[in-house]
Amino acid sequence: MKYKIACLQMDITFGNAAQNYEAASTLIEKASSVTPDIIVLPELWTTGYDLKNLKDKADEEAQEASAFLKETAIKQKVHIVGGSVANKTESGIENTMLVFDKNGEQTGKYSKLHLFQLMDEHLYLAAGKEKGLFSLDSQKFAGLICYDIRFPEWVRAHALQDVEAMFVVAEWPIQRLEHWRALLIARAIENQCYVIACNRSGSDPNNTFAGHSMVIGPWGDVIAEAGEGQEILFAEIDLDQVKDARSKIPIFADRRPELY
């Protein structure tokens, strides 16, 4: 099965949800003009890393973001991997990915499992506790958030569920751009699946972000890659290529987890 993908590599306004919703709407309208099957947003696209003020700015049970994404999916007749938003829950503020299909049905919800201490996430956010599995058109996918890609065992746990494409949303900084590229390509090769990675562009008071959203095939080939600025990255994936890669090099059949 083939999918046309549009990654919205947007410049996020620090702590200003109203401006970010407006910016996302503009980019979605632009992306929709070429009728993609799936639109992907970056991590924390409503607030950016305004962590110190999330107590006041987080979205209560992600209601506002959910309503926006649902309405947009129905209007544009497109699946949406809704990046992630600061989601205020009873157990704390979580960094939560929301996925809606083109009928407006929520098919996925994943809160970031690995909190990045270098950017103080552990001081302001609560960690998730469940996998990022979801389905679109009866196809199995997975969602990961930024720092998650440094944990190959976590990514493999999703691949073992017959996932053929993984969506990574991020606010990855420019100084570790080469890590971003190397890790994404490695995750695609070792799991023989597509990796669709949507990073943000621009900067906030503390960081400059790398951009370079990427779509990578199951053989590790870079199908499409953005630059550093705000842009929409388009690409097409063919899930039959995953089956081909996995049949030619049967790494899943050759695993020996009893000795790991």
Q: Is 230 in contact with 26 (CB distance < 8 Å)?
A: no
Bridge-based pairing state of the strands 133-136 and 139-145: antiparallel
Tokens of 229: 């600025």
Which residues, listed in sequence order, are joined to residue 210 by a DSSP beta bridge? none
Active-site position among 146, 171, 193, 198: 146
* 30 has catalytic annotation: no
Alpha-carbon gap, residue 189 to 140, rounded angstroms = 18
Helix (H) or strand (E) holding 59, with range, is strand 59-60
Active-site position among 43, 94, 121, 164: 43
Active-site position among 112, 121, 164, 171: 112
* 43 has catalytic annotation: yes
DSSP code of residue 12:
P
Tokens of 16: 């200003």
Residue closest to 36 by CA, chosen among 70, 91, 81, 71: 81
Catalytically active residues, by annotation: 43, 112, 146
